[in-house]
Each structure stands twice: as C-alpha cells, then as structure tokens.
Chains A and B, each alone.
Chain A
Amino acid sequence: MSNEEATKEQLDDQVKKLTPKDLASDQDVRWCPGCGDYSMLSQLQRTLPEIGVKKEDIAVIAGIGCSSRFPYYMSTYGFHGIHGRALAIASGLKAGHPKLSVWVSTGDGDCLSIGGNHFIHALRRNVDINVMMFNNRIYALTKGQYSPTSQHGQKTKTSPQGVIDHPFNPVLIALGAEGTFVARSMDRDPKHLKEMLLRMAQHKGTSFIDLLQNCVIFNDKAYDIYTNKETRGDNTVLLEHGKPLVFGNNRDKGIRLDGFRPQIVSLDDYSESDLLVHDEKSKELAFILGHMNDQPDFPMPLGVFLDIERPTYEEELDKHVQLAIEKEGAGDLNALLHNGATWEIEGNGK
C-alpha cells in the first residue's frame, strides 16, 4: 500500500479527508447480485478521497444503461443523462466549469454504439474528463441483445445464430481518436482497478478506461479466462511503464517484437532483456499492444497503453476567453450594442 500512502501525503490540507462512506448516497444500489458494477462503484468511492478534490467539485455524469445508474449511488454531484450522450453533457459541463473533476460512467453500448460519435470527438478534443466504460459485451438493461463489443458468433437474444457484426476494439478506437490516456482493467482486480482510476484522475485530458465487467445475467463468465485464477496468468499481460512484458501462470513467457509484430517467447529461450519494454509515451507501441489480443493465443494487455500530454480543450477555450479580455478589454454591453456603423436620429418621429 506504499503507493496509496504516497498519494495521501500529496493531499491538499484544505481538502476534507473523505472516506468511501462519505461518497455513498442514501439510495439503494439496485444492480443484480454479483454484478461487476459493485466493484467499480466501490473502487471509485475509495479512489476519489485520494485525488485531492473537494466533494462538491466532483460530478459524475452518465448515459443510459446499468452502469449509467452510477451517479445515483454517489453523494457527489451527479447527472443521469440520455442514451449515448453522457460525453457530450460532460464536455459541456467541463468546458463551462473547468475546475470540476468530471467522471463519466458509460457502457459499451452507450459509449460505442449510440454514443460513438461523442466518444471519438471527446477524445480528439481532449476535454479533461475521466471516462469509465463498463464493457460487459452485451446490452444488459435492455435485457440481452448483442452490443458493439459482443464477440463474433456470440449467441444473444437478437443473434440466435451468432453475431455477424465484427466487434469494436475499444482501446484501438480510443487511440485512433487521438486519446491521450488509454487504459484497460477489470472488475475482478480491485487493486489494479483502483490504481488505474488514480492514474486517470492524475491525467490532464480525456482519460479512457476499458473496464472488463462481468454481467452475471446475460453474459456471465465472458471474461472468465482473464479473471479465473487458473487461467488468468496465461491469458493476460500487465503493462507497466519501463518494464518488460512478462506473463504466464509461472511468469515463464514474454512478448518480444519481431519487426512490428509481437511474438510470444518462452523465457527458457530468451531472457527478460530480450523482451519488449513497455513505454506509455509511445503511440506506435500503444497501437501494437492494442491490436495484440485480436490475434489468437495472445494475452489480453491490462494497464496503461498510452499516457501523453496535449493541451486540454477547456484550457485552450479559457485561454481564448482570457486573451480576448486582455486584447479587447472585458466585454462592455453598451459598446457591443453600438458596434459598427451607427447613426443618430433626432426627435422628429412619433
């Protein structure tokens, strides 16, 4: 827990020491028993006290879907919007009120299907908001239709013969849309999830996390091979900045690059120094790693794919406001109304 302690030390003295309890609202949480959303809620409630922001400066914005009920369960400011539009609402909130810490809870359908347009545009603008995409690869609140991340061939209520749409890879969309912070974590690894949420809070600009989340009712065990203790080691690989990509139940395998292609190698044949070393600052590498698990047998990368700096939208917008005031002076309404060619008419009329 040294990581956690270090962050606590950095807390502004003025900020009340909140506890996770302080962040829970008085509303009953109404997710299905065993839903991965509980873990997400609990980790956000544990993380927010550590980010050094006052409770009243936190706003949680959502679209529609199971995960989008999130704001009701937080005692911060919260806004439950309409389907797919959470990112647009959050972008307007942040652009008009830059000092807030804005968190978006959205699902794979909400974010990538009906809200796909807002998703890519929020990322390219780099509005400083934190997007938690709960990815259960199914439409849950509408009861079991396939989503844009459902796997090819998956049988659902609307795909009795199997899904024929090719699934989206959320990480690659985020990278392709010029996202500046792109990560992946899972409901079943609270410690990693919390670490990722902290990193998101620290990042200036749009932070996006693909949160693999289990839907016990409509898509149970969709991520079992990544979460099950027996198979997890062989099927996931942890991305840590500056560290080689080692994985396997016995940590006996690694990823090295053969040209641009990742290659799985045995640590019997190679040493760790031969392996690919993760670099969060490399866009090129982020794309390679983002693609990696689209290929059979490759492990699913978990962690931060990319964390780079770019001015945020609201900073630049604010700069334009400040520049305009500096250059032209603060707005004078009478001067504006009289702007341009005017003329006087003396009292000859009615």
Chain B
Amino acid sequence: MATTVETADGKKTKSVQYIEVDEVTIRFAGDSGDGMQLTGNQFTSTTAQLGNDLSTFPDYPSEIRAPAGTLYGVSGFQIHFSSKAIHTPGDRFDTLVAMNPAALKVNLKLLHEGGNIIVNTDAFDAKNLKLAKYDTSPLEDNSLKGYKVFPVPITTLTTAALEDTGLSKKDMMRSKNFFALGLLYWMYNRPMDQTLEWIQQKFGKLPAVADANTKALKAGYNFGNITETFTVQYEVRPAELPAGTYRNVTGNEATALGMVAATQKAGLPGFLGSYPITPASEILQELSHQKRFNFRTFQAEDEIAGICTAIGASYGGSLAFTTTSGPGMALKTEAIGLALMVELPLVIINVQRGGPSTGLPTKTEQSDLYQAILGRNGEAPVPVIAACSPAGCFYGAFEAARLAIKYMTPVILLTDGYIANGSEPWLIPNAEDLPDISVPFATDPENFKPYVRDEHLSRPWAVPGMEGFEHRIGGLEKQHITGNVSHDPANHQFMVEMRDRKVANIANDIPDQTVFGADEGELAIVGWGGTYGAIRSAVERLQSDGKSVAHIHVKHLNPFPKNLGDMLRRYKKVLIPELNLGQLAFLLRAQYRIDTITYSKVQGLPFTPGEIEDKANEILKSI
C-alpha cells in the first residue's frame, strides 16, 4: 500500500509504501563509543511495548573504548522481532545500521541479500576506510550492489539539528546514535514516546544533554519522514502470545529476580557474596538495589571471599548466593567442596563465557559443564541445572534455590553470556503461584544431631542464635549422625556414598524429560543451556518440512531426569550441538552408553538455527 505523506511544513510530499512483514532482524553497529548498545536497548523497549515477540543479541568487544574506527572495536546490537513466537536473535539481518566502514565490513556477511544498509556517510573518510582495511570506498566501488544502500550523513545532520544548543561539536556528535534510532523508529513505524521519556529520566539533571538527544532523535525520525531517500515503511504486528502481563528481561535481570523471588518464598533474608566479573556483574548490580527485600549484597575482595561470605551467611540462616563467570568459578572450587561437606544451602551461578583462562570475556561459550559437574577434589557431587533463555534464568535461579534448601547442598546454575545479555519478553508470573520453598528449621534441641538425615537424606538446618542447637561443622570428614570429625575408613566410604546418593535421589524430585516432537524417530537433537532457541527454531523448520526430528532440551544436568536414557535410545541418531568440544555428549555417552554426534562451535558466538538445520539435514541424508 502506498500513501502520500504531507509533512508538517507542507512543503514536501512523497509516496511511502507500507509493507507488512512477519519478522525483522536489525543490526546496529558502530564504534564501541558510538552508543550502539543504548540504541539497541531503546529500540528493544519500544518494540517490546508494541507487543512483538523479540530476542536480542548484544555483541561487543572487551575493551571499554577500543580505538575508533578499527575492525576489532566494532560494537553490535542485534534485535529480531516478530508477530510470531521466536526463539533467537535471528541468523541474518534485514537491516544493517553501519556507523562507520569497520561496522559495515564486520557485519556485511550476515546481511540478507537485498537487505537494507543505512550508512553514516560522514564516517567514510580516508582514515576510517584505511582502518577498516578498505582499498576503495564500498559506497563508490559498486561492491554493495545487491543491497539497498541508504547513505545518510548522520554526523552532519545531527550537528545541524543541534546547532542552536550551544554544545561543542564533540558533544553534539555524542547524540548521533539518537539520530540513527529516530530514523529506524520511522522506518519500522515505532513511536518515540518511550525513548523521549527515558531521555528525560536519564538526563534530567543535564538539561543540555537531554535536549540534544531529544532533538537528535526527532531529527532522525523527521529525516525518514521527509526525505525522498526512504520510501518504504515496515509494519510488524503484535505477536500472538499467551495472555498475561509481559515485560522485557535480560537473562541477568531475570536471574536476579529469581533470586529475590526465592528468598521471599523461602521466607529467608537474601545474601549475595560476589566479585564483579563479565558477564555476571549485572546480577550483583541489580541486587544491590533490592535491599528493601532484606537482601544483602557483599562485594567481596575476590572470588574466594565471594563464595566464602555466602557460605558464612548460609551458616547464619540466609538464603545465600554467589555469582561469577568461568575464571571466578575456578577460584571458588575449593569452597564449593566445603559447602557440600558442611551440607548448607548455597546457589552458585556461573554465567559462562569463552575460556579457558581469561578467554573471551565478552563472548559466549558453554564450556564449563565439565567443571560444574566434575571439577572438584574428592568425590564431590553437586546438582547442576542450566537456564535456556533470558526469561528461563528466572526459573533456573528459583529452582536452584529450591533444591539447595530442600537438600541442604550447594547447587550450580549455569547460564551464559548469550542469554545473560540477550533479552526477550517474559510472561510475568504471579508471586502467589510460585511454589513455597520455606525451610523446616530444626525444632527439637533434645534430640538434635547435626548429621542425622531426613527422608531426602538431608541434614537439619540449625542456625547460630538457636538455643540448644550449638554444634560444629567444617570441611573435615564428618561422623554420620553426630557430625564429629571422623577419619574412620568405613565411615568415610559411607559418607561419600551417602552424599552421592543424596544428589542422585534428586532425580525423583525433578520433572521427567520432555520432548518437542515425536518420542521416537530418525533424529533427536539434544541441547542444554543457551542453545535452546537456535535448536528449537531449527527443529521447527525441519518438522514443518516433514522431517522426523525431535528436540530434547536438558535443564537438569546432574542428576539427569530419570527417563532421559530410555528416551534417547528411541532415535536412530542423536545430535548434540554444543558451544564446546562435546561436554554434554561425553556425559551422556558415559552415563547411558549411547552413540552421539557432536556438533561443536567454539567461536564466542551462539549457534544460528540455519547451522543446526544444515547439520541435521546432513545427518538425515546419511540415515
């Protein structure tokens, strides 16, 4: 449908075509100082409000401000939004916003053929072209034919719009991301209200900055509206999702919310002992604002202190957490062993990133599974669960806390950088509907023994301050029932087996493994953690092509659900895509003696559905 637009000043008219599409993927890309994450987040909030389903993927370098214009300094934010339910931030994008030549070069390969490129032509000078290793300007050498290129002098237009603000040129240029955002708001028919409000809130104390950003945003929108450059506006209708109240959450936000919810449902004060580390820091930041929930945050001097303060707080009767990422997890190892020896509840959250060592701090990976399950001295079983999406982090944190309290044990929750930073709409649960996880503290001082066990093999929780329950615990082996230090050989074997049995028995307390698709067939694609969305999208496509493919997504990794082994045996082939060299595959093969095919990707990047689809098709052909 085409419409003729008359602008506010009535001088110009143009014909605009409205195209309704089901789904769109946009990539904002620029220097790490260009504010692309902010632009992406604003576009996301507005899009969430319009009721689209969405998924985002922030992708940025580990330097705060990498040198401007360089290929390694490119910061990107991808958003996939749709009128249907979606699971990933999208394989390839429809529109690329490139604030400079490096951003264009790094991202072009993932732009759909015929896709839109909005370039800031001001940044395509000799210096930036050279930094991006272009011999000739791609805007002039015909290399972009096959795409719809929209050259916009964003810097010039932004400074022109801000001429009368009295700001320096440098300050004016800071607003150019708002110009780009405004332009995209016009192009995808999104209202500016929410961002305008946000600007007032965020920069209320700096009226000049608020004014500049407001003007730049509106200038971008009007530029789209007025000029002849853009003749197409896209429309993406609200998605059909289950009824209810929604909000947009990142994985780290959802994790923090799940932690608070668990303390509330447990009726315990909350405690987080943590040391900042990418990409887990937001959880600590978020929770430092939740003190009204009687939730205390302790920014420790190091990772070891992070977990040890949490163990101390747990000993003192708080529901205690520690959050970290891979290298921090390595440092916490000894203390995890202590927590399991003293049998106190503790939730350890590892937001995995690229490893080993410092690895790829801002990039995602799933390579800490061995560490979570096996990485301690001694026979040291710890329940491990993994969240599969940003919103899934809420339930992951809650479930980890439930198990920790019920079984008096440390529990490891694995998330990863991809779902921790990514966001999606979340159907908000009612607090009343969340399960009660309150604690039956020890009540009978006469017969109290610290290591006597209940039907779940859990020992009683008695907290300093409770009269008559004074007792000693620690990392040395405990005598069964009395909890006294014991080096008795038979007791040690008994206690090792007891702790193992306690954790293994959790299999009776977790849901049976479910399957998406038929419960037998040619191919099962088995995943865990953040690969959920990519696998699900691929399996949906394969199934709609009539292929015999099922998706089995494992959330409980230690112990596994009771029916998992039998389930896996009902498929001819089992494909396991993992962002590691095959860690889940190793564990499944060891436990169930089944053959598996590993599809490994260790590039700091998530799988795309297309990659998994291709791999599945290749296997299906061979059956």
Interface string of B417-459 (1 = CB under 8 A from A): 0000000000011110000000000000000000000000000
The interface centre, meaning the residue of A27, A75, A82, A330 with most chain B CB atoms within 10 A of its CB, is A82
Out of B239, B308, B310, B472, name the residue touching A80 (CB < 8 Å). Answer: B472
- Evaluate whether A325 and B292 lie within 8 angstroms (CB atoms) in the complex, with A81-B308, A345-B238, A345-B241 already known: yes
The interface centre, meaning the residue of B300, B468, B472, B474 with most chain A CB atoms within 10 A of its CB, is B472
For residue B160, CB closer than 8 A to chain A, the reply is: no
Of the candidate stretches B59-67, B216-224, B313-321, B596-604, the one touching chain A is B313-321
For residue B277, CB closer than 8 A to chain A, the reply is: no
Task: Count A-B contacts at CB 8 Å.
Answer: 226
Q: Closest residue of chain B to A330, judged by CB?
A: B292
* Interfacial chain B residues near A25, Cβ < 8 Å: 472
Q: Closest residue of chain A to B317, judged by CB?
A: A97
Q: Are B474 and A79 in contact (CB under 8 A)?
A: yes
Q: Give B441 Cβ to nearest chain A Cβ, in Å.
A: 13
Alpha-carbon gap, A35 to B439, bound state (A): 43
Q: Are B246 and A345 in contact (CB under 8 A)?
A: yes
* Interfacial chain A residues near B294, Cβ < 8 Å: 321, 325, 331
Q: Give B82 Cβ to nearest chain A Cβ, in Å.
A: 13
* Interfacial chain B residues near A321, Cβ < 8 Å: 291-292, 294, 296
Q: Are A72 and B472 in contact (CB under 8 A)?
A: yes
* Interfacial chain A residues near B317, Cβ < 8 Å: 96-97
Q: Closest residue of chain A to B241, judged by CB?
A: A349
Q: Give A111 Cβ to nearest chain B Cβ, in Å.
A: 14
Out of B260, B302, B334, B428, name the residue touching A82 (CB < 8 Å). Answer: B334
Q: Are B342 and A79 in contact (CB under 8 A)?
A: yes
Out of B241, B318, B476, name the residue touching A97 (CB < 8 Å). Answer: B318
Interface string of A31-62 (1 = CB under 8 A from B): 00000000000000000000000111111011
Of the candidate stretches B11-19, B45-53, B96-104, the one touching chain A is B45-53
For residue A92, CB closer than 8 A to chain B, the reply is: yes
Alpha-carbon gap, A121 to B304, bound state (A): 13
* Interfacial chain B residues near A76, Cβ < 8 Å: 470
Q: Are B240 and A317 in contact (CB under 8 A)?
A: no
Alpha-carbon gap, A30 to B248, bound state (A): 59
Alpha-carbon gap, A90 to B430, bound state (A): 37
Q: Are A92 and B273 in contact (CB under 8 A)?
A: yes
Alpha-carbon gap, A39 to B314, bound state (A): 32
Q: Are B316 and A100 in contact (CB under 8 A)?
A: yes
The interface centre, meaning the residue of A61, A121, A337, A347 with most chain B CB atoms within 10 A of its CB, is A337
Q: Give A283 Cβ to nearest chain B Cβ, in Å.
A: 22
* Interfacial chain B residues near A7, Cβ < 8 Å: none
- Evaluate whether A337 and B429 lie within 8 angstroms (CB atoms) in the complex, with A96-B312, A96-B316, A331-B294 already known: yes
For residue A93, CB closer than 8 A to chain B, the reply is: yes
Out of B260, B298, B338, name the residue touching A91 (CB < 8 Å). Answer: B298
**8 A Cβ contacts from B261-316 to A:** 261, 264, 269, 271, 273, 290-296, 298, 300-302, 304-305, 308-316
Alpha-carbon gap, A281 to B535, bound state (A): 66
* Interfacial chain B residues near A89, Cβ < 8 Å: 308-309, 311-312, 315
For residue A343, CB closer than 8 A to chain B, the reply is: yes
Q: Are B475 and A80 in contact (CB under 8 A)?
A: yes
- Evaluate whether A334 and B431 lie within 8 angstroms (CB atoms) in the complex, with A92-B316, A97-B464 already known: yes
Q: Give B237 Cβ to nearest chain A Cβ, in Å.
A: 11
* Interfacial chain A residues near B473, Cβ < 8 Å: 78-80
* Interfacial chain A residues near B293, Cβ < 8 Å: 330-331, 333, 336
For residue B257, CB closer than 8 A to chain A, the reply is: yes
Out of B45, B431, B464, name the residue touching A337 (CB < 8 Å). Answer: B431
Q: Give A337 Cβ to nearest chain B Cβ, in Å.
A: 5
**8 A Cβ contacts from A248-289 to B:** none
- Evaluate whether A337 and B474 lie within 8 angstroms (CB atoms) in the complex, with A57-B465, A89-B308 already known: no
Out of A62, A96, A339, A341, name the residue touching B320 (CB < 8 Å). Answer: A96
* Interfacial chain A residues near B239, Cβ < 8 Å: 349
Q: Are B316 and A93 in contact (CB under 8 A)?
A: yes
Q: Are B312 and A337 in contact (CB under 8 A)?
A: no
- Evaluate whether A341 and B313 lie within 8 angstroms (CB atoms) in the complex, with A56-B469, A92-B320, A96-B320 already known: no
Q: Are B245 and A344 in contact (CB under 8 A)?
A: yes
For residue A95, CB closer than 8 A to chain B, the reply is: yes
Q: Closest residue of chain B to A86, judged by CB?
A: B308
Q: Are A95 and B247 in contact (CB under 8 A)?
A: no
- Evaluate whether A350 and B471 lie within 8 angstroms (CB atoms) in the complex, with A88-B304, A96-B318, A341-B49 already known: no
For residue B566, CB closer than 8 A to chain A, the reply is: no
For residue B166, CB closer than 8 A to chain A, the reply is: no
* Interfacial chain B residues near A117, Cβ < 8 Å: 301-302, 305
Q: Closest residue of chain A to B312, judged by CB?
A: A92
Alpha-carbon gap, A78 to B469, bound state (A): 11
Q: Closest residue of chain A to B301, judged by CB?
A: A121
Interface string of B77-93 (1 = CB under 8 A from A): 00000000100000000
For residue B335, CB closer than 8 A to chain A, the reply is: yes
* Interfacial chain A residues near B313, Cβ < 8 Å: 92-93, 95-97
Out of B194, B245, B271, B467, name the residue touching A342 (CB < 8 Å). Answer: B245
Interface string of B323-364 (1 = CB under 8 A from A): 000000000001101100010000000000000000000000
Out of A71, A80, A97, name the residue touching B316 (CB < 8 Å). Answer: A97
* Interfacial chain B residues near A343, Cβ < 8 Å: 48-49, 51, 245-247
Q: Are B475 and A96 in contact (CB under 8 A)?
A: no
Q: Closest residue of chain B to A60, judged by CB?
A: B472
Alpha-carbon gap, A92 to B309, bound state (A): 4
Interface residues, chain A, with chain B CB atoms under 8 Å away:
25, 27, 54-59, 61-62, 64, 71-72, 74-82, 85, 88-97, 99-100, 117-118, 120-121, 317, 320-321, 323-325, 327-331, 333-334, 336-350
Extra pairs beyond A56-B469, A96-B312, A337-B261 (14, CB < 8 Å): A56-B464, A56-B466, A61-B312, A76-B470, A79-B312, A80-B475, A89-B311, A92-B320, A96-B271, A118-B304, A330-B292, A341-B45, A345-B51, A345-B242
18 contacts between A and B (CB under 8 A): A64-B475, A78-B471, A78-B473, A82-B335, A91-B309, A91-B312, A92-B313, A93-B312, A100-B316, A100-B464, A324-B291, A330-B293, A331-B294, A333-B431, A336-B257, A349-B240, A349-B243, A350-B242
